[in-house]
Structure 1
C-alpha cells in the first residue's frame, strides 16, 4: 500500500518519547491512530505550503542509485541471448561519463514472452518501497511499441517470483531513452532481489541497458513532517484534558506558529515550490 503521509508514527513516538497515558488515552493503538491522523494533516499543510503533493508529483524528489549498470546482467540460460559489457563510448548515452553499459545480443530464434535477462540487486539497494518512480536508461536496435518489452520486479533471484510487471514505453531505434515506471511508494516492494527483462515482441538484434535509479522523497521532508507532528503531540500534551486536537479546530495563527513553525517553513523553502503558472505549447492552431 502506498504511503499517505510523510514520516512514520514510530518515528514521531521515538522522537517525542510520548506515552499514551501522557495524553489521557487508554491504549498504545489509540495513540498510534491519533498520531497517524496528525501526520496526514501535517502532510496537507506541507503540500499546501509547497503548492504540490510531494508524494504524487513525479518531478519532485531525490535520485538514488539502484544499479550502476557496469556489471553484467544474467542471461538466464536462454538460447539465443548473449550478454556483454559494452565499453565503446560511442554507444553510451551522450554527455555522460560512464565506464560501461550492458549489451544484450538477441537472436531472431528467441521466442516471444520470454524472460531474456535479469540483474541481481545488491542487498543494500533492494528496498524500493520508498520509490515513487523507477528509472532505467535503455537503447533498442529497432523501433519498439509500448509493451514490446517489459520490466519485471522479483523478490527472488533470477526473477523466480515476479511481483510486478511494467511495460516499457514506445522507443525509437538506436536512441537512448530514460524510461520511468511508477511505483508509488509501495511497502510490498521492500525486498526486490532481482530486476528482469521480458521480451514480448521483437525489439531488434541488440538492446543496451545503462543504470537503474529510483526517485524518492527527500529525507529532509520526512524530518520536517516528524518535527511538525511532534509539535502537535506537544500541543496535545499541554491540553491533555482534551487531547484530540484537529487542525480545523485551531486558528490559522496557531497552525502556523505552533505546528508548521517559522524554522520548519524556512527548511521547507529549500525544496522548491511548484510554479502557479506554466507555458504550454499548442500545436495545429
Structure 2
C-alpha cells in the first residue's frame, strides 16, 4: 500500500516537472523569437548566421575612389559599392546601418571570403569562369571595361600604342594583369598591392600607363587632373558580388536587392551620384 502511494506521488511529481520544463522551453523560444535571433522556416544557415549576428560583414575596397574610398580624416568609407552594400543590409536585416565594412584588395578578397571573415565581396570584382570555381556570383551589378590611365600629353592614346617595351602598372590579383599580357605579348607589368600604390608609382615615373577597369581609372583621374583615361575600353568587365559557394539563399537575397533597386529607380540614383552621369539604357 505504501509503495502504491509512493508510486502515485512520483508520477505526479514527474508530470509537474514535465510541465515546468515545457513552460521554460516555450519561454526561451518566445524570448529568442522576440529578440529576432531565430531563423525563419526555410532559411539557410548562412542567412540565419547574419541575422543572429545582427550585422552584415562586407569586404570592400578602401583605396578606390568612386567605389570604395576611406576618408583618413573621418574614417568613413564611401562609394558606389558601399551604397550597394548598405542596400543589401537593409534588405536582409531591415537596417542599412547594420553593416561592418572590412578592407579587401584584389589579392585578399577571395581568401577572406572563403575563410569566413566576410559574408560577401562588393569590391569591383569581375565575374570570370575561373573565379566561379571558387565563389558564387550575383547578377551583374556594374558594367565596366578595361582601359588605360596615362599622364596628359603621353604618346599612348589607347591600347594600340602599347608595345612590349611599355612598362604598365597594375594591382595584384586583378584580371587586368592577365588581360594586358594577353593583349601585348612580352609586356612588362609591375604589380602593386593596391590601386593607390600603383597610381603613386605612375606619378613617380615607374611606368608609362596604369591599367584596370575604366570606372576605377576615372576615379584616379578625378584625384589628379594631370592624368587622363585614354582610348576605348578593350575588354568587357561585368562586376559581380561574390559569396561562398553553395550559399544559394544569400545569392538570392543579393539578386532580389539588385532587382528592387533597379525597379524603384534607386540604382539609377546611386549610379549618377558616383559615376556622375545617367546610366545608359
User: Relative contact order (C-alpha < 8 Å, sep 6+): which is higher?
Assistant: 1
Computing the radius of gyration from Cα coordinates, the structure with the larger value is 2
More helix by share: 2
Q: Same fold (TM over 0.5)?
A: no
More strand by share: 1
Instruction: Give the structure-1-normalised TM-score.
Output: 0.25
Instruction: Give the structure-2-normalised TM-score.
Output: 0.25
